[in-house]
Structures are given as C-alpha cells and as structure tokens.
Structure 1
C-alpha cells in the first residue's frame, strides 16, 4: 500500500448484518482500483444456515483469518463496524504481519479478557436478557425499527433493503471473551470513526488518548447514524481513503 496506490480493504460487518451491508462502499472503492473483500460471517448472509449455538466470536475471527490466508492478502486495511470491531481486534492478533491498519467504525474495541457485552453492557445486555427467556435462548433476532429508524437509517427503501439482509445473532458471539496477548499486534496503527448521530453515543467507550503502539489516538467523526455505510457511503469512502493513505491534506481530522 502506498500513498497513491491501491489499497486492500477487508470489511467486517456488525451484528445481524451481512457483507452486503458494505455494497455502497465496496463498489466505488473497487471502481477506483482498490481490492475489497466484504465476507459474510458464519451464520449471516449466504451462510445463515450455518448458525448454531456454538457460533461465537472465535468462529467469526476464524472466518477473517481464513480469508486473509486463503487469498494471500498482505498490507490489509481491516475495517470493523460495530460488533465487527471485536472481530478485527482478535483477527489482528492472529496475523499481525498481514495487517497495515485497523479501522473501527462505531465499533466495539475489547481489551484482553473482555466480551462485546463487557464493552457496552447498557446497550447489549437487554438483547441477551430477552433471548435467554425466549424459545431460542442462544439466538437474538434483529431489532425492530424505532422512531429513530433502523440502525439510524430513516429512508424507507433503505430500511426495507437492510431489513431483508438481516439474520439473527448468536448470544455466544457477544459473550465470548477476547484473547489478546500477541505483543506484535499492538504495533498496528488504529483509527476510529464515530457516527456523530448515533442516539447512544453516550454509551460509547472513550478512545484512550494513546494507541497501543504509543502514538496519539486517531479519532474521526462522520455525520451519520450507526449504519454509515448505508446512510453516508460517499463520505465514508472519502474518509476511509484519507485514513488508509494517511493523507491529512485531504480532510482535516476533527480531533
């Protein structure tokens, strides 16, 4: 990856979603000559039939590690949205030499020994509690539309499209703890994109001022609800390219 050369992106979707959620971001990036992978995690999208009570965080980490190895990818910009942040954090532990940068979009960023629900308990616990008293206590159905839309999406046609792609999420994926003990992974640069219009921004864990690699935190903001890849894809593409190339002259870092 060079400042003006093509970049290899691997996008990891969040809970209930699939790789299809990245379509509006992947298309222009590919058209510009970049390499883009946006896989469906086990139990989601085309792999929905593979969902079982044993599908957890480690299952999804294996999905991403296998993709990077099978495709022989290097200098990867690994991007995780929401729950996908936990997946990319753990995947980087397995293949730190293949990862050029981690980009977290409104994402869960666990510490060693933490689960997704540990990072944002006030957001995730109600879904788990509802599942545990249901007929399928290991599975969480997608949330219903609220007055604020669906994942911040308010356009009716977009809501219909995204809803058609959603599948239930396994409880284990949120409860399995991250194992982070590879010191080589701490050297990977990290960037964080926060969706400014997320109604639960108050529950977001603050980004530490210093990255694990010892450099200052790299935090950006996009004027969008949670599913910015659907709501504001053009703005997200520009921001991703800015971060991936470290070209600060294109867009001013708001922090």
Structure 2
C-alpha cells in the first residue's frame, strides 16, 4: 500500500468533555489510486485528512506513507483546501515559483516550470495575473498546480470545489480527472457530494461518526476516460444510490430520525 491508515483514533479534549472524532479507522490507498471520503458532517473526514497531512498527530494508531510513519507535515503530501490560500501579492506564476523554491526543486528555470504547471491546468496565459484578477475556479486551478509543484507522493484534497458554482465545479472535476490520468497521482479526496465522489474515484470510503461504527469501502467499477456522459450510465446511478443509502442511514442514526 502507498498509504496505510492503521487503527487510527483521534480524541479531542475540551473543558467539558472528550470528543472522539475517529475510532480504530483502518484502510489503505494504493499507488496512483483515487479514493474519496464521504459521510455525514462530523464523521471525521477532514480530521483524517489533517492527520494524513501531519497537521495533527493521532491519539491512537498510526499512518504510514511508503512504510514510513507520518510524524508531521512534509512536501511528500500536498494539500488543496476549499480556500485557495494563494499569496495575493504574487502572480499565479510567482505563487508556483515560490512553491518550487520551498520544495527545493532542482530545475533552475523555475519560471518555465511554473508556466508548464499552469499549462497543465489550462492557465498558461494567466501566468502574470494576480489572484484577485482570477475567478474562483481559476484560483483553485492555480492552487492545484502549486501543490503539483512539490511533486507530492500523495495529494490530499478537502472539499476543493465546494465553493464553486455548479458548472465550474463540473468543469473542475473533468480537469482533475485529466490531470490525474496524465500524471498518475495518488489522491485522497474529501467531499459531501456523492456524485462527485463516484465520478472521480476508484473507491469511495463511507465514514461513520459513531464510536462503534465502521467503514464501508465501495469499489467504483466504472470505466476510466470518464466524461460528461458518465452520469448517464445506469451503473453510475446504482453506485450513487447505494452510497446515498449508507449516508442516509448514518444520518438517521446520528440525528435520531
């Protein structure tokens, strides 16, 4: 396995009580695999992503990347958040050049490398534009290109398209598919959108917020080369319905419906 989540638990201590965000969570992600995490709010999706990123340490179990235990942040894990987190005083190209410098990229011509990465996400003509001059979808594309500059072993994405309008979101999904297929990335992707998860993923992991709950691991056996026609496939509807039923059942249990 490229990435191993081994019996991971996460407990937060507050003044009034302890909160168990994750309990004994175990699954793996293969190299070049695209895995989405879905589930009701509070089930620990973003918590788990932060643990993989090394932004927090689990209170139980361990996370391993290429057989090495994750003990903190590193450029081997690139993170794309819903907020774009671009440096507003730098141009799109300079944002990526900054990432290349931080990653100690050996390529001396960072300007050309930045242009190449922006070309990958369809923004080569906007290398000199500042974030304020770009739309939300364009800024997120720069954010993805910036993470790719690190050449991470795993790309972690936390609701990256959640703030976008429906059309832009669809176009961003198709773009991400093309980039993933071309560059063979290993991706862990958090989303509330079940259709998005089915469209993008090799597997969808349905997480549970209950302490005694487990995980449902659903293989997405739709052929690759997915397109705008993919949601019309009856198998797409079948898989989406199955995952929706699991999430609904979880919501009923958690909220006592």
Structure with the greater alpha carbon radius of gyration? 2
Between Structure 1 and Structure 2, the one with more strand by share is 2
Same fold (TM over 0.5): no
TM-score where L is the length of structure 1:
0.32
TM-score where L is the length of structure 2:
0.32
